[in-house]
Amino acid sequence: EDDLALLEGEAAIEAGEPGGAPLPVLAVVGRPNVGKSTLVNRILGRRQAVVEDKPGVTRDRVSYPAEWAGRNFTLVDTGGWEVDVLGIDARVAEQAEVAISLADAVLFVVDATVGPTATDERVVRLLRKSGKPVVLCANKVDGPRVEADATELWSLGLGQPHPVSALHGRGTGDLLDAAMAALPKVSQHGSAIPAGGPRRVALVGRPNVGKSSLLNKIIGAERVVVDDVAGTTRDPVDELVQLKGKTWWFVDTAGIRRRVHQSQGADFYASLRTQAAIEKSEVAVVLLDASTKLTEQDTRVISQAIDAGRAIVLAFNKWDLMDEDRRPFLEREIEQDLVQVQWAPRVNLSAKTGWHAERLVPAIERALASWETRIPTGRLNAFLGELVAAHPHPLRGGKQPRILFATQASTSPPRFVIFASGFLEAGYRRFIERRLREDFGFEGTPIEISVRVRE
Ligand code: GDP
Ligand code: GDP
């Protein structure tokens, strides 16, 4: 009994480690060409070099796992996107705002050889408003000769400028030390979702799948006018909506309404928005365009939601454009491209006509219920006992790892820890996951299984 309690305690701690509690997020912001990408590459090391020499190259990731002085954190990178010359100022500010909202601390990069510009000042105002800790990087200080340029940046009122040469590495150690000091141990993001209160829904999907059409359809006349729902603080970018007698938060709707039309960097920008919305939500409704071929951007959005551990509903929109010829192709695409989310509820609908829109809420509710499911330890171990007896782990080199004990360390999403006498093969873990889903449902939620090896 004591041993079991100890293991359960350990499993709970485990869930608080990577994959459990979110890592603190450091966002690198600044206007184009100040050296953000160069700095990010330096922080990540050569292994993960992401800088491309071509301007306007779209990255497929927004955040990267990073480490400094033994601390793990998530680095949000806003470099590598190119903006139109027109309206550059507003775009930088808007993009910085999203990155800042994602962050626990901000690394603000300024080109010391140029000095503070009006765009920099604009970002500074956003930083102040956010109240987040800021570390000021005075970049392109390649040698002592330009050191004096850095001191000029005290005028930004953000405290000490750290002279750095992202290109040569000069000063980056001190800069990262300062960033680590500014970063909280655990991300504040998880706790940004208050317990109780309306559930938080993010409508996500690549540009033009119909997010704003669906939002308008859903909200229609039903927008909640009263602000003061007990226990909520209103964020102006989120909308409170009454649906089926219940109140819901639709998060980051301002991002959906404020449509940004521009070619270069649009993908990346959309990706950043998506990340921000997902972080704030409990369930992500991923919109897909049923009338055209699924794209890599679609699967990327889905991966973002899975990686963040959110409940997921897939909404196949534009069903009114669906013709019978396309139907079998879509089924095949779903089988091939969406293997990783076969467990998500699917709703076929049309944001334009409103057809099946009422099916969305029940699907969301099912996904959220799964997301919060807890399987009692006794039931879980009885289930595993039967499963292992019928399908033992394959023998490898004359040895066979035994499953000693398992427990669900947390919910939202469900995380399981299995204690075993040896390493469990990935195939066997997938088999366990499949069986868990068959027996306990988990429709609409990712689940995580980790294995601790015990002698
Ligand atoms: P981003 O648009 O902010 O991501 O900027 P980049 O990282 O793409 O850098 C813009 C340009 O500045 C590139 O030509 C870099 O090589 C150059 N650069 C970046 N950091 C430094 C630095 O510390 N010193 C010098 N001299 N050039 C730099
Ligand atoms: P967003 O970029 O994801 O917000 O997409 P929008 O809501 O702006 O929609 C992009 C385009 O698709 C617009 O021209 C919409 O009118 C159209 N659209 C959205 N939903 C549907 C739908 O269900 N059926 C049809 N036929 N068109 C749609």
* Closest-lying ligand 2 atom to the alpha carbon of residue 350: 23
What's the average model confidence in pLDDT over 81-94?
57
Q: Which of 208, 212, 321, 360 to mutate to test the pocket of ligand 2 (most atoms within 8 A of CB)?
A: 208
d(CA 363, CA 244): 13
Peptide bond just before 24 cis, omega within 30 deg: no
167 pocket-lining for ligand 1 (C-beta < 6 Å): yes
In which residue are the tokens 């301007």 written? Answer: 55
Q: Closest Cα to atom 19, ligand 1: which residue?
A: 35
What's the average model confidence in pLDDT over 172-192?
82
* Closest-lying ligand 2 atom to the alpha carbon of residue 209: 3
**What are the respective helix, strand and coil percentages of the chain, to the nearest 5?**
40, 20, 40
Q: Which residues pair with 415 in a beta bridge?
A: 410, 448
Q: Closest Cα to atom 24, ligand 1: which residue?
A: 140
Ligand nearest to the CA of 88: 1
Which pLDDT value is given to residue 6? 63
Which pLDDT value is given to residue 99? 80
For residue 393, what pLDDT band results from cuts at 50, 70 and 90? Answer: very high
**Burial of residue 100 (number of CB atoms within 10 Å: 0-12, 13-18, 19+):** buried
pLDDT higher than 90, residue 18:
no
CA angle 148, 32, 55 (to 5 degrees): 125
142 pocket-lining for ligand 1 (C-beta < 6 Å): yes
Higher pLDDT, 271 or 235: 271
Three-class secondary structure of residue 65 per DSSP:
strand
CB 388 within 8 A of CB 406: no
d(CA 86, CA 433): 51
Ligand nearest to the CA of 167: 1
CB 108 within 8 A of CB 136: yes
140 pocket-lining for ligand 1 (C-beta < 6 Å): yes
Count the Cβ atoms, other than its own, within 10 Å of residue 424. 20
d(CA 449, CA 20): 11
Lowest model confidence (mean pLDDT) among 17-26, 33-42, 134-143:
17-26
For residue 198, what pLDDT band results from cuts at 50, 70 and 90? Answer: confident
- Choose from 45-54, 94-103, 116-125 the range with maximum mean pLDDT: 116-125
79 pocket-lining for ligand 1 (C-beta < 6 Å): yes
CB 264 within 8 A of CB 81: yes
CB 127 within 8 A of CB 108: yes
Which pLDDT value is given to residue 347? 98
pLDDT higher than 80, residue 176:
yes
Which pLDDT value is given to residue 193? 53
* Closest-lying ligand 1 atom to the alpha carbon of residue 79: 4
For residue 9, what pLDDT band results from cuts at 50, 70 and 90? Answer: low
Ligand nearest to the CA of 39: 1
What's the average model confidence in pLDDT over 147-164?
93
Higher pLDDT, 188 or 406: 406
* End-to-end CA gap in the chain: 18
Alpha carbon of 449 to ligand 1 centroid (Å): 42
d(CA 187, CA 74): 10
Lowest model confidence (mean pLDDT) among 240-254, 364-378, 408-422, 436-450:
240-254
**Burial of residue 185 (number of CB atoms within 10 Å: 0-12, 13-18, 19+):** exposed
Count the Cβ atoms, other than its own, within 10 Å of residue 90. 12
* Closest-lying ligand 1 atom to the alpha carbon of residue 41: 7
pLDDT higher than 90, residue 86:
no
List all residues whose CB is within 6 A of at least one atom of ligand 2: 205, 207-213, 256, 317-318, 320-321, 350-352
Higher pLDDT, 274 or 284: 284
224-250: pLDDT as tens digits: 544 444 444 445 578 888 887 888 889
What's the average model confidence in pLDDT over 141-161?
92
Alpha carbon of 38 to ligand 1 centroid (Å): 6
Pairing state of beta strands 199-204 and 134-139?
Answer: unpaired
Which pLDDT value is given to residue 190? 47
**Burial of residue 297 (number of CB atoms within 10 Å: 0-12, 13-18, 19+):** middle
Three-class secondary structure of residue 334 per DSSP:
helix
Measure Cα distances from 343 to 298, 307, 313, 359 in Å.
17, 15, 9, 17
Count the Cβ atoms, other than its own, within 10 Å of residue 129. 10
Q: Indicate the helix (H) or strand (E) that contains 313.
A: strand 311-317
Ligand nearest to the CA of 40: 1
CA angle 345, 347, 353 (to 5 degrees): 165
Three-class secondary structure of residue 378 per DSSP:
helix
For residue 331, what pLDDT band results from cuts at 50, 70 and 90? Answer: very high
Q: Which residues, 6 or more positions from 432, have their beta carbon under 8 angstroms from its beta carbon? A: 384, 387, 418, 424, 449
Ligand nearest to the CA of 266: 2
Count the Cβ atoms, other than its own, within 10 Å of residue 312. 29
DSSP string for residues in 211-279: HHHHHHHHHGGGB------TT----TTSEEEEETTEEEEETTHHHHHS----STTHHHHHHHHHHHHHH
Overall pTM surpassing 0.80 (yes/no): no
d(CA 312, CA 283): 6
For residue 191, what pLDDT band results from cuts at 50, 70 and 90? Answer: very low
User: Which residue, 318, 367, 359, 314, is CA-closest to 218?
Assistant: 359
* Closest-lying ligand 1 atom to the alpha carbon of residue 81: 2
pLDDT higher than 70, residue 440:
yes
Q: Which residues pair with 388 in a beta bridge?
A: none
